Amino acid sequence: MDRISLEILSLIVSAVASSGPQIDLDKVYDVWGLQDKPKFPATGKPHDNSLAPYTAVSRDWQLAFEPFTFHTLVLSPKRIVQAERQGYLTRRRLRYIRNIAVPITFPLPWPWDVPIVFSQLGEWPPPSEVEHLEDQKLTEEDESADEDHAAREDVVQGDIGEDPDGYDYYFDEEDELQPPEERGYDKMFASIIKALFRMLKLAPVYDNGQPYINLRLGFPVPREYGWCVTTRIEEPEAERTEAGWCTPLYFDLDLDEDELPELPVIASCRFDLVSWSLFITPQAACTMVSKMTHVQKIKMHLSDMERKNPALRIKLREGFARSLSQIPHTVFDFECHYSRRIPRDHSYTAASIIPPNEKHDILSQALFNFSQRKNLIRFSAKGSFDLNIMGTSEKALGASSGWPKLETYEIGLLVITPSGQWLAIPFTDTPNTDCFRDERWGAPSEKPRSSLSTFEINEFRGPIDPDYAHRLLYAAGRAASHMPRLRRMDINVGVVGGYKVCYTSKRVNPCMRIAGKKLQPPADELLQVWRRVAQERDQPFCLEWKDTVKTKKRREIFS
């Protein structure tokens, strides 16, 4: 087998790789099954259709298959430490990587605590890696033994080397169990991120300078919720967090500026929100991204769910606002989903989180400034924001540079603003009954919560506040007139009655749509603003307005 010509070997590799295991990165955080059973392999043996055994045939086979076996990696914290200490990810192999997912899995806070789990790639590292490691150090064409040795010396001297037992403190003795917030998880998180960055800094930069690695990180649901007899273990975690039985943890890096190396090879970075009790702070996310000097796409799904401690929520939002400027200007595609759970008790009164000395929400203003970067092509922001995310006034927009290259603009607004205002108005006809809700608004967008929830179901707000809808449409049209390359604008307000605004610069009829329930028709003032937007693009203006309430649907065309 080791005497096959390179031409035939390349055909074999192509055929086998095309039928090999396909890793679904959207499932890498789903690590626990029913009855506390892990979904990852119990041993390090390869999967039945794994490509790893082919690398053990010979040196030529190993080199031929490595571009495929290292194309997509799922690295748990334990595997990051293994790769760093044992030198699995050499410069040549790092060059093959295109996708890396890092499920940051912490151990149990229960007596049956276990070490950091392996992720789903049971075949990584390939079985041939350890036995051939010493030979590879001397024979790789693109790196010398001295270079590898120096790189390993560099990582061993880091902070992980300070613990002589290496990550053994992931084990908790039964009589030494502490609450999650006292276990030093913040230090673990910082160590994991530093180890990941030290490893990736060895990746070679292509001659054209283009980045090539897509990175994603997130916290899976902690294992203590794996015991639940349910197919969605995040539900009990969310309910216990909301009820106050579980204290959410926010992980910051708290590092000096030079403690993380620059990573020019990262093309995109994505932060996934999976756990309802373990969160990466926005400031930590921006700090990581700031070191990705050539990054092009950013997707941040972060948590704005803090409800028990309003001061902490304000601190996190202000840290996010300050840190946005750290993101490299190479980014042309930016998406921010700042999630917050909305109460289904519509009598709930939310406190304002806008500082007394400020007129507007600081984070909304920071996102507005970020969206006007000259290289940005796509901007998407969903969360609790106020209207100054689109600009505070025509005068302010005129004094700014506008959105010179922006083509796609997406805004999603939660039903409660940072000032505590509800964007949905009450509807009084027997509001809190299932038949009314289903007839008027349709089924709820989320499942009813359990008895653990501190919010009662008391829904009596349905349609969007018409005054707010007027101001929103006016602000959106005013912003669109400063977007010369705009192709599509989508605005969605999360009221029970629904409210969606869509605009496209294509020469189609209609070019604009407004849909929702119990809506007020647009005023002439608004039509004038959007007619001007269409006129600037030499486009005939046509607006389709639809009231989709089930009892009396209406549809009108405005031109």
- 339 φ, ψ to 5°? -75, 145
Question: Smallest Cα–Cα separation from 264: which of 321, 316, 204, 199?
Answer: 204
Task: Name residue 537's amino acid.
Answer: R
pLDDT over 90 percentage in the chain: 44
d(CA 192, CA 187): 9
Residue 65 tokens, joined: 């298959």
Q: What is the pLDDT of residue 65?
A: 67
Residue 362: helix, strand or coil by DSSP? helix
Q: How far is residue 232's CA from residue 32's CA, in Å, rounded to a whole number?
A: 10
User: Among candidates 160, 186, 187, 168, which has minimal Cα distance to 113?
Assistant: 168
Task: Measure CA of the first residue to CA of the last residue in the chain; give whole Å.
Answer: 72
Q: How far apart are CA 515 and CA 502, in angstroms?
A: 9
To which H or E segment does residue 490 belong?
strand 488-493
**In the predicted model, what is the mean pLDDT of residues 132-140?**
40
Q: Is the model's pLDDT at 145 over the cut of 50?
A: no
pLDDT band, residue 194 (cuts 50/70/90): very high
What's the confidence (pLDDT) of residue 199?
94
CA dist., res. 2 & res. 39, Å (int): 36
Residues 235-259: what's their mean pLDDT? 81
164: confidence class by pLDDT, cuts 50, 70, 90 = very low
Lowest-confidence region among 88-92, 404-408, 539-543: 88-92
Query: Which phi and psi (to 5°) does residue 133 adopt?
Result: -60, -45
* Beta strand ranges found along 312-354 (DSSP E): 333-339
Distance CA 139, CA 150 (A): 16
C-alpha 68/C-alpha 9 separation (Å) is 14
Residues 166, 85 contacting (CB under 8 angstroms): yes
What is the Cα 340 distance to its own chain's centre? 14
**Predicted pLDDT at 87:** 87
Cα–Cα distance between 415 and 433 in angstroms, integer?
21
Q: Which residues contact 492 (CB under 8 A, 6 or more apart)?
A: 382, 411, 412, 413, 499, 500, 501
Residue type, 502: C
Q: Worst-scoring range by mean pLDDT, 39-48, 163-172, 225-234, 430-439? A: 163-172
Check: CB of residue 103 under 8 Å from CB of residue 119. yes
User: pLDDT at position 357, please?
Assistant: 84
Question: What is the full DSSP assignment across 233-269?
Answer: THHHHHHHHHHTSS--EEE-----TTSS---TTEEEE
Q: Band of the pLDDT at 51, cuts 50, 70, 90?
A: low
Least confident range of 339-353, 447-461, 498-512: 447-461
Give 333 or 81, the one with higher predicted confidence: 333
Cα–Cα distance between 52 and 131 in angstroms, integer? 14
- Interhelix angle 145-156/77-86, rounded to 10 degrees, is 130
H-helix or E-strand spanning residue 544: strand 543-547
Tell me which residue of 466, 496, 461, 491 sits closest to 477, measured CA to CA: 491
Q: What is the pLDDT of residue 188?
A: 86
User: Do the beta carbons of residue 367 and residue 323 sit within 8 Å?
Assistant: no
Q: Please tell me the distance from the alpha carbon of residue 300 to that of residue 39, in angstroms, as a whole number.
A: 26
Q: H or E element: which one contains 290?
A: helix 282-290
The pLDDT mean for the chain works out to 77
pLDDT above 70: residue 55: no
Integer Cα distance of 271 and 318 in angstroms: 19
Question: What does residue 367 show for φ and ψ, rounded to 5 degrees?
Answer: -70, -35
Is residue 148 pLDDT above 50, yes or no?
Answer: no
Smallest Cα–Cα separation from 273: which of 234, 242, 239?
234
Which pLDDT score is estimated for 346? 80
Residue with tokens 């924001």: 385
pLDDT at 133 over 60: no
Token digits of residue 103: 């499920």
The DSSP H or E segment spanning 396 is helix 394-399
Q: Quickly list DSSP for 512-549.
A: EEEEESSPPPPPHHHHHHHHHHHHHTT----EEEEE--
CA distance 431 to 121: 51
Higher pLDDT, 148 or 462: 462
CA-CA distances (angstroms) from residue 268 to 292, 344, 452? Answer: 9, 36, 39
pLDDT digits (tens, 9 = 90+) for 327-358: 999 999 999 999 988 877 788 888 899 988 88
Mean pLDDT across 316-325: 97
| pLDDT tens profile 394-407 | 888 888 889 999 99
- As a whole number of angstroms, the distance between CA 196 and CA 483 comes to 39
List C-alpha distances in Å: 437 to 167, 329, 466. Answer: 53, 46, 20
**pLDDT of the residue at 228:** 53
**Residue 435: both structure tokens together:** 């038949």
Does residue 518 surpass a pLDDT of 60?
A: yes
pLDDT of residue 10: 66
Query: In terms of DSSP H, where are the helices of 19-139?
Result: 59-69, 77-86, 91-96, 128-139
Which residues make Cβ contacts (< 8 Å) with residue 540, sequence separation at least 6? 507, 509, 511, 534, 559
Give the per-residue pLDDT at 7.
62
Alpha carbons 367 and 479: distance in angstroms, whole number: 14
Which residue did the predictor score with more confidence, 450 or 400? 400
The token pair at 372 is 């006007």
pTM of the model: 0.81
Yes or no: say if 218 and 103 are a contact pair by the CB < 8 Å rule.
yes
Task: Select the more confidently predicted residue: 453 or 504.
Answer: 504
pLDDT value, residue 131? 40
Selection from 506, 521, 513, 499 nearest residue 543 by Cα:
513
Confidence of residue 139 (pLDDT cuts 50, 70, 90): very low
Per the model's pLDDT, the better-predicted residue between 109 and 188 turns out to be: 188
What local confidence, expressed as pLDDT, does residue 171 receive?
37
| Beta strand segments in 340-465, E | 378-383, 408-413, 424-426, 461-464
The predicted pLDDT at position 481 comes to 95
Rounded CA separation 263/211 (Å): 9
Question: Per-residue pLDDT for 452 more than 70?
Answer: no
* Contact (Cβ atoms closer than 8 angstroms) between residue 273 and residue 264: no
